[in-house]
Amino acid sequence: MHVSIDAITSLFPEKVQLAIAVITHIMAIIALSIFGYLGYELSIIAEDKITPIIGVSYYYIDLSVPIGASIMVLFSSNIYWKT
């Protein structure tokens, strides 16, 4: 998922390292789910606002947050199931 420094976790046994990896991925999935939900709420609030220059609704711009969070949740879930 991202670059990590395993100086501390490499000192633990293999089972503890696996548990730490699973807990980390679950925490990431929870945080990304919250970000996705809040991003969706933001896009609903901004639905009526129009950008002054290009005339596009802010809904589409703000919708990138839940879409990106959803993709990251899928990626984190994929890594979670591999570990």
Total domains, the chain: 1
pTM beyond cutoff 0.95: no
Please give the Cα distance from 51 to 8 (Å, whole number): 48
The angle subtended at Cα 64 by Cα 67 and Cα 30, nearest 5°, is 45
Q: What are the tens digits of pLDDT across the range 26-48?
A: 898 999 999 999 999 999 998 88
pLDDT of residue 4: 64
Within-domain flag for 55: yes
Within-domain flag for 20: no
Q: Which residue has the tokens 């609704």?
A: 57
Structural domain range at position 77: 32-83
For the chain, residues with pLDDT lower than 70 are 1-5, 79-83
Within-domain flag for 62: yes
